[in-house]
A and B are shown apart, each in its own frame.
Chain A
Amino acid sequence: MKFGVVVFPGSNCDHDTHHALATVLGRPVDFIWHQSEDIAGFDAIILPGGFAYGDYLRTGAIARFSPVMRAVTKFAKSGGLVLGICNGFQVLLESGLLPGAVLRNAGLRFVCRHVYIRVEHTDTPFTRAARPGQVLKIPIAHSDGNYFCDDATLHDLERNGQILFRYVSPDGRESAEWNPNGALSNIAGVINHERNVAGLMPHPERAAESLLDSADGLVILRSMIDSLARRESQSVGASVAERVPA
């Protein structure tokens, strides 16, 4: 089981993600340079937070054209696990691997603080270690995290169970007061229809050690590890393309 963390010019949570997976969870991780189209040997890809290409034009807009994204798209289409965190989520939205887009925060300012998100579905490779409805305390740090999609898309997302995380109060209630950026329907993270590509604005890698206030983010990372372990035991030696998404 090997994780790949993509490094775009301007990624700045790449080392944090590496640390959470390698040091805290003891899993093999390697960086993948944005110019590389070779991602053979990786079982899950994480697009980390940061300001890829300075976030010039729009967040994630230029990163989606980098060579590594061609490979990531292929990997995703063949069922590989892909997680986008914050800026990585924005890249996935821009590249069309996930539905919707993000707007400037409703408050028009960068917001860095802990928020509470509710796990909406536990039947995914990214949340299988969570209890249904579990509330996670995880930090956000962004100025463009205001999730948006049109009504038809929102309807689809709801119907297909693709809204993975919602901003809530510490006791799990939805309300505008606990939505930090104005996101539509309090959406903090979504998953694709095939359930192998997910993205969220909060940073699970920043909530991986209780020394840093919360270790709730481990639920997401452990879910991925669990899922990969299941896949390995189900189809030893099989290629990614043959694997069935969890």
Chain B
Amino acid sequence: MIDTEICVTPTLAAEHGLSLDEYARVQKILGRDPNITELGIFSVMWSEHCSYKSSKVHLKRLPTKGPQVVQGPGENAGVVDIGSGWVAAFKIESHNHPSFVEPFQGAATGVGGILRDIFTMGARPIAVLDSLRFGPITEGQGATSAEVSRNRRIVDGVVRGIGFYGNCFGVPTVGGEVAFEPCYSANPLVNALALGVARRDELFFARARGVDNPVIYVGAKTGRDGIHGASLLASAEFTEESQQKRPNVQVGDPFLEKLLLEACLEAMHTGAVVAIQDMGAAGLTCSTCEMASRGSTGIEIDLALVPQRETGMSPYEIMLSESQERMLLVAERGREEEVLCVFRKWELDAVVIGRVTSGGLLRVLDHGRLVAEIPAHPLAEEGPVYSRPLAPPAKPSRAETLVAFAPQGTNLTENFAKLLAAPAIASKRWIVQQYDHMVRTNTVVAPGAGDAALVRVKDTGRGLALAVDGNGRWCHLEPRLGAMHAVAEAARNVACVGARPLAATNCLNFGNPEKPEIMWQFSEVIDGMGEACRALGVPITGGNVSFYNETLGHAIYPTPAIGVLGILDDDSHALHMGFRAPGDAILLLDGAGAAAAEAAAPADLEREFSSSEYARTIRSIVAGTPPAIDFAAEKRLIDSLTALAVMGLLHSAHDLSDGGLAVALAESGFASFFATESLGAHVALQGTEPAEWALFGERGARAVVTAPQAALAAVEQIAAQYQLGLRKLGTVTQGIFRIEYNGREVVSSPVARLRASWADSLEQALAAR
């Protein structure tokens, strides 16, 4: 072996993030000491980001199978059958650390990476959603003005980055969610979800097959960008020092990626492509060894043939570069010209850089000189796996401060207006307007027009619904229960546009896994997700784990972002959340059933309510326990909503979540982001609980729907058939929004006033920079 200029020692290995044990394992696999290039290769492949070494033992507990699942975890994206010979490929992935270091490029390349994962499978991307978490963007509750202005800069950069990439690439950004909590101040989360569709018989996989088949490099030239992005940036906590890593952040070119998409799909159609994988984290290293490992083959490449943007790059740098917009594919021997011809048409670099070999080795040459030789399978699949210690956090010795309910008869209008203006609840118009959410003319339910996004699949008449949810605050209070709610809410949201939940993808954002309490959170979240996915029949088909979301020792809330994909057999049955006509009946559908629930003890109500958005925004309290979950109730609600959608009985549907019933009613009135006139509601509620709980409580399995009076009887019949609780709350109005509780008016305001606090607050905070 060569490349002996640098002597590899256990110390150097440690600097690459490999422990002594891991280094010994490298020596055992190779039967000798690695050289510097090989050390680099092992260090990225065995980094937390690429190897899942801390999470693997837990991820096994998730349900991943079902008749609808064509491809579960382990490929570039999960794939499910959507009928008529079509499949949907979808996956969510994090780009948290790069987005903190450089928000615009970090978010942009996050979108670019997940899009490549989709079209690598042979699927054309048709939608993107984003799950975003930031620190506070308004002062107060302990947020300093310096912190607030930094967070605003991050939000601005991330939003512009997502728009920049998706808009130019030509994929609609159709939805997602955004939340603001102090714990994300120094650790924003940027999770991007992409959805694509393909004919079932035209799917592609990343399995290098056929000895002597050529290995072809396509796309952007390789530069020094992003070296060690995966191993260092995404696999360690942030310290003062790591803020200096800016030069390592990759720069995205969505125009190039658009060409790459068209060229790849066209090349796949020639029939001459055997396998294809994108070069994302760990670039050429990851794509070569994973393709060889999955195909039970080897790969030999010569780096001298790799198109390079900079001069004098070492083998180490070329193998570890994370330059964007690159793909590696294997073509059928003798037909490579057909493939190269397509890339020439699109004016893209495409070069044969090596071949598939027998014997299972990844062999890297540089001008014919061997610079690395590693068995591919052990490198890709036999990395270290840890059962890290778990420990629940110590219970605080002091009793928590819980919410004390306002006395009966308190007028809650001001609190309500304030809640509507909370960044988590306020209109996201300022954000979604910066995204092209209509390109490809499939967006049936646009951002803000429904609980989930719905895009049609033109050739099938079907619609695909997508929602992404995850309440970090609830997962912080009770990880297992919080994770269950994340799955249930995403599934419920999908049902609220009329679609049947099919499958899920997940992005798990956590702190440092070497800390037992973080690992305990992770394990709990996995168990909660697993149980919810089984109960609701939505297997997990893929996703991503992001650890080390800590800065200076402070971890984020455990934040699983769950994306649920649903199907609507006829896209014209799609439900929107906006009220449609004054005079329509407003109904509350409750999966918990017709029988009135047993009156809860006041202390339990306080505990539950202390975890709500209202408690956080109005009382500055984050405490207690999230509401209990009832999967049977969730299932009944989902099934009945999909049935009601098919029958066309409803004018609107919107689930109850952040801010409870009152916020759901108001949001339905504000309807679409772009409606010029909002509708209101006049509802009368009864109950024994405090009014704040009745208006703003966040118990699950509930939705507000409207129906024309003439359809009421039919809706009641369906509700009875599904053993669903149905309460007539009131009617849709114009001009005034009013809620009465036990005969007393608790909220009353002109709709326009409420709408103004909801519509403008985000824009006021963010646009005025």
Contact = CB atoms under 8 A, between A and B. Distances in A.
Q: Do chains A and B touch in the complex (CB under 8 A)?
A: yes
Interface of A: 9-10, 12-13, 15-16, 19-20, 23, 49-51, 53-56, 107, 109-114, 139, 141, 143, 170, 203, 205-206, 208-209, 211-213
Given A208-B441, A211-B572, A212-B441, A12 B255 contact: no
A13 B571 contact: no
A50 B258 CA distance: 11
Given A51-B168, A55-B168, A110-B436, A10 B259 contact: yes
Contact of B170 (A12, A110, A111, A112): A12
A9 B259 contact: yes
A82 to B, nearest CB: 22
Please name the 8 residue pairs, one residue from A and one from B, whose CB atoms are nearest each other, closest first. Answer: A12-B170, A54-B255, A51-B168, A16-B441, A141-B436, A112-B436, A110-B434, A10-B255
Given A16-B439, A211-B444, A111 B347 contact: no
Nearest to A213: B446
Nearest to A20: B441
Contacts of B441: 16, 19-20, 205-206, 208-209, 212
Interface in B440-483: 440-441, 443-444, 446, 456, 458
Contact of B168 (A19, A54, A206, A211): A54
Interface string B257-290: 0110000000000000000000000000000000
A141 B167 contact: yes
A35 to B, nearest CB: 8
Contacts of B168: 10, 12, 51, 54-55
Given A9-B346, A170-B676, A112 B255 contact: no
A120 B153 CA distance: 41
B259 A212 contact: no
A16 B440 contact: yes
Interface in B417-451: 432-441, 443-444, 446
Contacts of A51: 167-168, 170, 254-255, 258
A208 B438 CA distance: 12
Contacts of B438: 112, 139, 141, 203, 206, 212
29 contacts: A9-B346, A10-B259, A12-B169, A12-B258, A12-B439, A13-B170, A54-B168, A54-B254, A55-B168, A107-B767, A109-B433, A110-B434, A110-B435, A111-B433, A111-B434, A112-B167, A112-B434, A112-B435, A112-B436, A112-B437, A112-B438, A113-B673, A141-B167, A141-B438, A143-B167, A208-B441, A211-B444, A211-B572, A212-B438
Contact of A112 (B346, B433, B458, B767): B433
A113 B430 CA distance: 11
A109 B162 CA distance: 13
Contacts of B432: 112
B147 interface: no
Interface in B200-255: 253-255
A19 B438 CA distance: 14
A10 B260 CA distance: 10
Given A16-B441, A112-B433, A112-B436, 15 more contacts: A9-B346, A13-B439, A20-B441, A51-B255, A53-B255, A109-B160, A110-B167, A112-B435, A113-B674, A141-B167, A141-B436, A205-B441, A206-B441, A211-B456, A212-B438
A54 B169 CA distance: 9
A53 B441 CA distance: 22
Nearest to A11: B170
A23 B441 CA distance: 12
Contacts of B436: 110, 112, 141
B196 interface: no
A245 to B, nearest CB: 30
A106 to B, nearest CB: 12
A143 B436 CA distance: 10
A234 B446 CA distance: 44
B179 to A, nearest CB: 22
A209 B346 CA distance: 32
A211 B444 CA distance: 6
Nearest to B463: A211
Contacts of B256: 54
A209 B436 CA distance: 18
B163 interface: yes
A10 B255 CA distance: 6
A114 B434 contact: no
B255 A110 contact: no
Nearest to B443: A212
Contacts of A113: 433, 673-674
A20 B442 CA distance: 12
Contacts of B571: 211
Nearest to B253: A54
B347 A9 contact: yes
Contacts of A208: 441
Contacts of A13: 170, 439
A203 B439 CA distance: 10
A49 B436 CA distance: 12
Nearest to B459: A23
A13 B441 CA distance: 9
Contacts of A50: 170
Interface string B169-201: 110000000000000000000000000000000
